[in-house]
Amino acid sequence: MPRFDKFLNPAFCANNSTSPCPNKASKANSACGRCYLVVYCSKKCQKEHWPTHKKDCNDPLAHETWKPDWHTEDRTPNFHKNQGPSEQDLNKCKMSWWGSMPALDLLKLDGNEGDDAPPKMRLLFSSSHDIRNIVETVARLPDTYSGQCEIVMNGITSAIFAQNVLLVLTAFHFPPEEAVPIMIHLWYSALIPVSLLTGLRRKLLPLIAEACSEAARKRTNQLFKWIWKKNKAVLHVELMRDEWDRLGGFLKPPSYLSAATAACNRQDVMLASNRKDNLHRFLFAQPRYWRVSTMKFWRDGILLPFGCSRKAFDTPNPLASQPLHFTPQAINKIRIFFHASRSWPMPDSADPRTSWDLVEVCTGAYTASYPAKNDLYGRLFLYIRESLLGFCRQLSKRDIKLQLLSLDSLDLPEYFNRPGEHAGFDRIETYVTAEKDVLGIDTVLNISSSMLKPKIENPMAMILVLFIRDVEEMWKKDSLDKDVARAAKYLPEPETTDYNDADLLRNRRSSSFFCNVSKLFDLYKKSAGFDALSKYELKMRGNNTIVAHWPNRPGKYASQEVFDILEASGATGCERYVEWEWA
């Protein structure tokens, strides 16, 4: 049995408050029929656990009549008041490294090149937070494709980048069943089991030290490339010499921080009293028992099924304990800065639910056999586990080249258009860098088109661009009564017509799912000068083949379940993907 098997397949039976139930996970397949948050292996276990479980099962947040505090106290919610800068401090200067859009398969060979795929497909993620898109793309590589898949991921900040290097190194150097639980908790959990961290350090630190000693032979601080291999797969990491030196430090257990202090630091951010109205608004937009699941994760920050024991999670995740550093260039580019503090490094809005396809997480095949349907984070755990297992297994057998870089995205063309480098990418994903406050669409198409494979070599070559805030801003100027009425069909009737009525606010907010986004996007294109982009000889696809134009919209005939999931996902429906291909 692999050493970390108990973390890959934790004991699901929730009857573990005093000692863990010895029955195997597969046997714990009957959910509490009231809350559907926990599972048990037997009636006996359920009965034994009731004195503990009844607190969660009867949580007031899950009552039919629960309303946000501002509603019951009949006051204006905080998020409608102008807050002073000091009140926002805990969130303002932080960035989520989990990303805010569902992971996507950037290749989708079946609906694109199909059998005509070139023997080498090259993909570039030019500005990535984490590796989730790589995970989804590699995990879904069709068996029918026998060529090489080369993936370049360019990260944006050194601490987040270090996390990605460590995650991929883990995937490369452990068997899949051991790599997956390490990756899940290193990526998503605030506390991790000390044995996972020890195992990780024992395996990775010597590998990193070897690269460091080679890098030290370089006289100046310049980019230094190091390569690892696993069967046919190759991992190519390029860092500055001082970044190599710092890499191992990210796995150092933070000696100044106890598990209890780390948990408190996190709660200071996640449960800050001046953010209670925001939290209540978030909870109120979720199915009733999801709220209980949400609060458990917001309190303890451990990504596990609701009923699983947290006892082994005794060490602060060293990655979540690092103050994040931006390079001076990155600060100029994204106009964000960090305080070097020991506070939880992400804003309270960071939530793993936003980075995976939540409809799939709740209704798809990966989690179909898990009966606790309201255990949102348990479903996320299972979904991510399956995706990661797929990713790690592909790495063990496929011809995959992964290259991790941390360059300013403006410097990528110079890097890749060097003599001896490649002949262009088949896919380029640019995340939100095309938004007007980041690089803008003109700059993004300018640099990306110079790296795209020529049409004659691949007519399906494509640049993927995402707009989140830019389109939402257009909506804020344009909310219409008929959109509110369409959203109302899915929502409870408000009790009052009061301005602060929680149901009314919820209805108004979800009207963005039904607004005329095509019209808003046309307005946006005009204001952002899309007409002038024809100089790049690219055109916008009328029908996307990689990811839907509006992936978070419920659509005209959405079921109640799909609407509920999308509303609870935190999306607005105004998120727009554009696929650019050669004209």
List contacts with Zn ion (CB under 5 A): 13, 15, 21, 23, 32, 34-35, 41, 45, 57
Q: Is the Cα dihedral 460, 428, 132, 195 positive or negative?
A: positive
Beta strands in 502-575 (DSSP E): 538-540
Looking only at the bridges linking them, the beta strands covering 576-582 and 313-316 are: unpaired
Closer CB to Zn ion, 22 or 175, in the complex = 22
Closest to Zn ion by CB, 34 or 252:
34
Contact 436, 470 (CB under 8 A): yes
Q: Which helix (H) or strand (E) holds 52?
A: helix 43-57
Q: Which two tokens stand for residue 387?
A: 């995706």
- Report the b/e string of 381-391 with b at 16+ CB within 10 A: bbbbbbbbbbb
Nearest approach, Cβ of 21 to Zn ion (angstroms)? Answer: 3
Alpha carbon distance 571, 463 (integer Å): 23
Element (H, E) at 467: strand 462-467
> Is 19 or 220 the residue whose CB approaches Zn ion more closely?
19
- The runs of H, that is alpha helices, within 248-287 are 259-270, 276-284
For the CB of residue 24, give the shortest distance to Zn ion in the complex, in Å: 10
- Closest to Zn ion by CB, 15 vs 127, is 15
> Minimum distance between the CB of residue 48 and Zn ion, rounded to whole angstroms?
8
Q: How far is the CB of 301 from Zn ion (least distance, A)?
A: 22
Min CB(364)–Zn ion separation in Å:
24
Structure tokens at 294: 């949400």
| Closest distance of CB 379 from Zn ion, Å | 16
Considering beta carbons, is residue 208 or 372 the nearer one to Zn ion?
372
| DSSP notation for 472-492 | HHHHHT---HHHHHHHHTTSP
Gap between the Cα atoms of 427 and 438, Å rounded: 21
Q: In terms of CB distance, is 35 or 412 closer to Zn ion?
A: 35
Structure tokens at 49: 């656990």
For 273, residues 6+ apart whose C-beta sits below 8 A from its C-beta are none
**21 vs 488 by CB, closer to Zn ion:** 21
Contact between residue 77 and residue 68 where contact means Cβ atoms under 8 Å apart: yes
Pairing relation of β-strands 233-240 and 223-230? antiparallel
Q: Which of 52, 12, 20, 53 is nearest to 34 (CA)?
A: 53
Q: Please identify, using beta-carbon distances, which residue of 32 and 124 lies nearer to Zn ion.
A: 32
CB of 180 to Zn ion, least distance (A): 24
The SS3 assignment for 536 reads: helix
Q: How far is CA 92 from CA 34, 53, 85, 266, 270, in A?
A: 39, 36, 9, 15, 13
Residue 230, CB half-sphere, CA atoms under 13 Å: how many?
21
Which residue, 49 or 576, is less far from Zn ion as judged by CB? 49
Strands (DSSP E) contained in 385-457 are 400-405, 427-429
Cβ at position 61, least distance to Zn ion in Å: 13
Question: What's at 390, amino acid-wise?
Answer: G
CB of 475 to Zn ion, least distance (A): 38
Q: Nearest approach, Cβ of 13 to Zn ion (angstroms)?
A: 3
Name the minimum Å distance from CB 292 to Zn ion.
9
Angle 523-435-445 (CA atoms, 0-180°, nearest 5)? 95
Secondary structure E strands in 216-281: 223-230, 233-240
| Structure tokens belonging to residue 450 | 């110079």
Q: Rounded CA gap, 287 and 525, in Å?
A: 36
Shortest distance (Å) from residue 185 CB to Zn ion: 23
Residues paired with residue 532 on neighbouring β-strands, in sequence order:
none
CB of 27 to Zn ion, least distance (A): 8
Compare residues 45 and 392 and give the one whose CB is closer to Zn ion: 45
33 vs 419 by CB, closer to Zn ion:
33
Which is closer to Zn ion, CB of 58 or CB of 332?
58
Nearer to Zn ion, 41 or 121 (CB): 41
The amino acid occupying position 120 is K
